[in-house]
Amino acid sequence: MHKDIEKVLISEEEIVEKCKELGAQITKDYEGKNPYVVGLLKGSVPFMAEIVKYIDLDIEVDYMSVSSYSGTESNGDVRIVKDLDCSIVGYDVIIIEDIVDTGKTLNKVKDMMYAKGADSVKICSLLNKQERRLIDINADYVGFEVPNEFVVGFGLDFNQKYRNLPYVGVLKEECYL
């Protein structure tokens, strides 16, 4: 385990199992459709790479980058840093996210997708931190509930570090206070 990690919350094996479950559910829910799967950079990358293996549909994959976070707090001012590569007019969009925390980011991104002409927009998040929610928005597909602690790994960072850890763990307080 990395020296800055207090404890491991979710192992790599558990995440892979969950991706199989969620992928199968999405495959069922979108039968006959070709959803446009959008990963939010950078946190969703490992989760996106894992879950798409288990979505048995002809999907399109794209990434979008928005900025709203610095340090451990989201400021709600969501700006597009890297836009989608293609038009999503008439598409069923699935947003892949690492964590829903206050909900500010996803709320704005969901609106952006509808403004771009998406037919439907659903959210699939690896983690959900319900306790911190400020906006009434929920992911349609959730991997794991996490407590109100700052978590890193499997894509999640603190100041761009720890994204490469193969598990989700709680960061030691002394590393971010």
128 lines the binding site for ligand IMP (CB under 6 A) = no
Output the smallest distance, CB 31 to ligand IMP, in A.
29
Binding mask 83-112 for ligand IMP (x = CB under 6 A): --------------xxxxxxxxx-------
Q: Hey, what's the torsion of the CAs at 106, 94, 40, 153, to 10 degrees?
A: 90
Output the smallest distance, CB 17 to ligand IMP, in A.
22
- Residue spans of beta strands (DSSP E) within the chain: 5-10, 36-41, 60-70, 73-82, 92-100, 120-128, 141-145, 151-152, 168-171
Output the smallest distance, CB 135 to ligand IMP, in A.
8
Q: Which is nearer to ligand IMP, 50 or 98 (CB)?
A: 98
151 lines the binding site for ligand IMP (CB under 6 A) = yes
Q: From residue 127, how far is each of 54, 60, 82, 114 by CA, in Å?
A: 18, 23, 23, 23
Residues that bind ligand IMP (CB under 6 A): 43, 68-69, 74, 97-105, 129, 150-152, 156
